[in-house]
A and B are shown apart, each in its own frame.
Chain A
Amino acid sequence: MTARIGVVTFPGSLDDRDTQRAIRLAGAEPVALWHKDKDLHQVDAVVLPGGFSYGDYLRAGAISRFSPVMETVIEQAKAGLPVLGICNGFQILTEAHLLPGGMLGNDHLHFICRDQKLRVENAETAWTVDYEAGQEIHIPLKNMDGRYVADEYTLDKLEAEGRVAFRYVDFNPNGSLRDIAGITNEAGNVVGLMPHPEHATEPLIGTGRTDGLPFFTSILKKLVTA
């Protein structure tokens, strides 16, 4: 038996098909979910992919958060359904208050696309068990609104609880507070990050690295052994 992992397509999602490919490469079965459909079709986990859902109108992720599918995702995430938000997906997760804080425009005011070095700070979440804590990985980053912000209290709390899942190393590409690239909820089932692990899953393609594949093997391991 393998795991069925849903990938939601919102209007303006861009990396939905790439994420499905990454799931397939990891050995799981990708399931396409549609934003207007509340039904998650019995998937075992959900990925909210990158893109510019609803054109980033109002604020990145602000409209998608109210789409029918998110009602179910929010409800089930609270009950333990593993959810990964990549880039725009991370923005949607913060808008949906499944993760604290929010994203502002990059401090240099430009879109940035680069091969980004990260440190895995928490290798115990549903999406990171195939990494070692402290491991340094390279994952492509590409966004306009990637500057993670939260109030000092929240940041301290995240740090104290080990909920900073990924941190930028050597270069902070967008001005994120405390170099935060990704975080997790308390239970470790909901994870969001700005870089794109689905774009680092095949040699030759993109940067040619496969440092992102463990995201998808982690969840498979978690689901299949659970």
Chain B
Amino acid sequence: MSRTPLDTVENAAATPDVELPWAELGLKKDEYERVVEILGRRPTGAELAMYSVMWSEHCSYKSSKVHLRQFGEKAPQSDALLVGIGENAGVVDVGQGYAVTFKVESHNHPSYVEPYQGAATGVGGIVRDIIAMGARPVAVVDPLRFGAADHPDTKRVLPGVVAGIGGYGNCLGLPNIGGEVVFDACYQGNPLVNAGAIGVMRHEDIHLAKASGAGNKVILYGARTGGDGIGGASILASETFDDAKPSKRPAVQVGDPFQEKLLIECTLEAFKEKLVVGIQDLGAAGLSCATSELASNGSGGMRVTLDDVPLRDSTLSPEEILMSESQERMCAVVEPEKVERFLEICEKWDVIATVIGEVTDGDRLEIYWHGGKIVDVAPRTVAHDGPVYERPYARPDWQDALQADDANKLPRPATGEELKDQVLKLVASPNQASKKWITSQYDHFVQGNTVLAQPEDSGMIRIDEETGLGVAIATDGNGRYAKLDPYTGAQLALAEAYRNVATTGAKPLAVSDCLNFGSPEDPAVMWQFAEAIRGLADGCQQLGTPVTGGNVSLYNQTGEAAIHPTPVVAVLGVIDDVARRTPVAFQEEGHLLYLLGDTREEFGGSAWSQVVHDHLGGLPPKVDLERERLLGEILISASRDGMIDSAHDLSDGGLIQAVVESALLGGRGARLVVPDGLDAFTFCFSESAGRAVVAVPRSEEVRFNDMCGARGLPVTRIGVVDGESVELQGEFELSLEELRRAHEETIPALLK
């Protein structure tokens, strides 16, 4: 077969006028001109491929960078932070010599095109980020958002996504312990498939993506490189879907969890023997990303022979090899004398491993193909010096009208009977209903360390069998709140995740985020984005929980219609002894129910306004982060000292939703009384932040009240755990049986 002559660096310099398909690869004209300026000549085809993927929105954060800086600038002082933003994932000290790494990422666009593989490879990617830090992955979580629950396409996307997450994660042996499932018509053409993972290691095992030491070998190991996912980063993740263009299916990667499981075990064994100097996983932008980032973060240059890359398809061009996003691959930098042992370990696990290059003492990344030099670049210009945009942003002109459309003025139930109907409707609504149909497709038990898993407020994993040390994680985000006010919405997401961690008895330590927004080219979306980041950075500063890393997903929009701004926040916490954890379920009859915090008439963006009135307007609940911190401290102390035996955070759906969940999980009912100063409706449905409901054994009542009183946290007795129903005195009574049917039948019925 004849091919066009190889486009070497020499050739490029000699033929300055050759037209290259920069526009098709997703580069803008001025970006292409910048590449030419950096190189002092036109790029070769291979160089163009690298720049185009690495400068895509997905890899370069070109629209978001100027705003993301705030996470660093406003970072609170924290002794817990061992590795911050910029590495594959952040690392946090959790005590006893252990470090924990965690991160949330998006795989939104691929999951809409091909739900199973899109979601599966999302899990695969985040897990490789965790391994690349030196950690054994111990759990995954999946915050998901789909279109309207009754829309026909949701039936295509949701089961595929759930099966993909299960199919991949279950096969890796990672318990799935948390996440969310939210339905809203705004996600119809842009479902959000975010994936989070946690890993555990000893402090001394932390590894970084860095190629140092001239002469050290660069080893590519894992799956062979194929034609899947080529251009995925530049084309798929960085452009709005448009019906007029051809199908992008071939740009979605295909995952093989078995290969990834071998990759995990083989990598951990290599770490254990201290064989690895630097390591990087191959995710978006594949080898382009791994080689340029390793070289850019290291002290020298790198020379790579692309002919040595094991291929699944021998007809791939060098450009395609550089851009391929084939899954289950990693790149390690290993000292020459340790290469043999490294390769032995790979062989033991039946993992293909090949030396493809070495670290040089120069400062260039040079890539060869068939003897010709096809790439000669300063790695930093590819990996870190991409374009940075100060995108214009402006508060949208509809924001005032939206906020003026006050949800507090919506008609409220007039009788106890109406209130009862609305409670039943709420607990059966797709967003508030039990997600068991989904979570039962995930393995929660594997590894034998799962202390809490969904539907608990946070997932909790034991990390030391002797001492009982554990970590907890919660992810939250409410696009409806953020649409009403992105600054407050982002803080509410943070507050909720923080509260969820504290409710289970763990101390919140650090934050990761996945910021899902529409097109940054729309000033209104850019304003939402800027506001959300400002809110989150301010909030993290105030709560003392640094952002350790995260992910931005833009262009989540179909035509002109963007999704609700959806910052998803993950909070990681630590608990000294998992035996002290607090579950959601009511444990014993006769225990007293207390409401912690203040309840106000706050219905803007509430589940009630959505379910009963299909309404979105007004202002979201107020945020008081000092109150959140106090509430958290009380919940943690009460858990540690055995003063409470169940607790549930109040968020969407309000108090009644929380009580119903605790009752159904515990198989025990509750008798409630509306406290003085509140009406029954507000008591049930208000979504005021900074609140939780706890069950206190009678023997602890005095001690618990004294503690809250001394610390200045409002505490109100609202009832008792009792019977086979949830009863609000003088208003309504609903049997557990009736509630269970309403709560558990919705999702299976929709997806059958």
Whether A associates with B in a native complex is yes
Q: Are the CB atoms of A113 and B442 closer together than 8 Å? A: yes
- The CB with the most chain A CB atoms within 10 A, among B171, B256, B349, is that of B171
Q: Which A residues are in CB contact (< 8 Å) with B446?
A: 14-15, 18, 50, 142, 199
Contact between B441 and A112, CB atoms less than 8 A apart? yes
The CA of A172 and the CA of B667, in the complex, are separated in Å by: 22
- The reply to whether A12 and B171 form a contact with Cβ atoms under 8 Å apart is yes
Interface 0/1 of A192-207, CB less than 8 Å to B = 0000101101101111
**A223-B167 Cα distance, complex, nearest whole Å:** 38
Residues of chain A within 8 A (CB-CB) of B674 are: none
**Which of A22, A113, A204 counts the most B-chain CB atoms under 10 A from its CB?**
A113
Closest CB-CB distance, A194 to chain B, in whole Å? 13
B444 an interface residue at 8 Å Cβ cutoff?
A: yes
What CA separation (Å) do A109 and B8 show in the bound complex?
Answer: 52
Whether the pair B261, A18 counts as a contact (CB closer than 8 A) is no
Of all chain A residues, the one with the shortest Cβ separation from B174 is A14
Which of A51-59, A128-136, A146-154, A162-170 forms part of the interface with chain B? A51-59
User: Are A110's CB and B163's CB within 8 A?
Assistant: yes
Contact A55 B257 (CB under 8 A): yes
With A and B bound together, what is the CA distance between A198 and B443 in angstroms? 14
- Select one of A54, A111, A204, A206 contacting B578, CB under 8 A: A204
Contact A11 B258 (CB under 8 A): yes
- 8 Å CB interface, B419-459 against A: 439-451
Please, which residues of chain B bring their CB within 8 A of the CB of A18?
446-448
Looking at the complex, which one of B258, B450, B579 makes contact with A12 (CB distance below 8 Å)?
Answer: B258
Number of interface residues of B (CB under 8 A): 33
Question: Does B313 belong to the interface (CB within 8 Å)?
Answer: no
A114's partner among B173, B258, B261, B440 (CB-CB below 8 A) is: B440
Q: Decide: A11 and B349 in contact? CB cutoff 8 A.
A: yes
| Pair A113/B440 contact, Cβ less than 8 Å | yes
**In the bound complex, CA of A144 to CA of B167 (Å):** 9
Question: Once the chains bind, are A205 and B451 in contact (CB under 8 Å)?
Answer: yes
CA distance A54 to B444 in the complex (A): 22
Smallest distance from the beta carbon of B583 to chain A beta carbons, Å? Answer: 9
Q: Are A52 and B258 in touch, CB under 8 angstroms?
A: yes
Q: Which B residue sits closest to A200, measured CB to CB?
A: B445
- The residues of B that contact A51 with a CB separation of less than 8 Å are 173
**Chain A residues positioned under 8 Å from B261 (CB to CB):** 11-12, 14, 52
CB pair A112 B448 closer than 8 Å: no
Chain B residues in 8 Å Cβ range of A113: 170, 439-445
B166 beta carbon closer than 8 Å to chain A: yes
Contact string, A1-40, partner B, CB cutoff 8 A, digits 1/0?
0000000000110110110011000000000000000000
> Across the interface, do A11 and B350 meet the contact criterion of CB distance under 8 Å?
yes
Contact status A57-B258, CB under 8 Å? yes
Q: A52-B171, A52-B257, A205-B450 are in contact. Are A11 and B262 (CB under 8 A)?
A: yes
User: Given A54-B258, A57-B258, is A202 in contact with B578 using a C-beta cutoff of 8 Å?
Assistant: no
Q: How far is the CA of A144 from the CA of B443 in the complex (A)?
A: 11
1/0 per position for B151-174, CB-CB distance to A under 8 A? 000000000000100110011110
Q: Is B109 an interface residue (CB 8 A)?
A: no
- Among A18, A196, A205: residue with most chain B CB under 10 A: A205
Interface check B462, CB cutoff 8 A: yes
Whether B443 and A21, one on each chain, are in contact in the complex, defined by CB atoms closer than 8 angstroms, is no
Q: In the bound complex, do residue B451 and residue A111 qualify as a contact, i.e. CB atoms below 8 Å apart?
A: no
Of residues 44 to 64 in A, which have CB atoms within 8 Å of B's CB atoms? Answer: 50-52, 54-57
- Name the distance in Å between A114's Cβ and chain B's nearest Cβ: 6
A140, CB-defined interface residue at 8 Å: yes
A150 smallest CB distance to B (angstroms): 26
Query: Closest B-chain residue to A54, C-beta based?
Result: B258
Alpha-carbon distance between A140 and B439 when the two chains are bound, in angstroms: 14
Bound Cα distance from A14 to B258, whole angstroms = 11
- Cβ 8 A contact of B445, one of A12, A112, A206: A206
Q: A111-B167, A207-B445 are in contact. List 6 more A-B contacts (CB 8 A).
A: A52-B171, A52-B261, A110-B441, A111-B441, A204-B462, A204-B581
Q: Could you list 15 examples of A-B contacts with CB < 8 Å?
A: A14-B261, A15-B173, A21-B448, A21-B465, A52-B171, A55-B258, A57-B258, A111-B163, A111-B442, A113-B445, A142-B445, A196-B445, A198-B448, A202-B448, A204-B451
Task: Sort A-B residue pairs by CB-CB distance and give the 7 closest, nearest first.
Answer: A55-B258, A14-B173, A18-B448, A199-B445, A52-B171, A111-B166, A111-B441
Q: Which residues of B contact A (CB under 8 A)?
A: 163, 166-167, 170-173, 256-259, 261-262, 349-350, 439-451, 462, 465, 578-579, 581
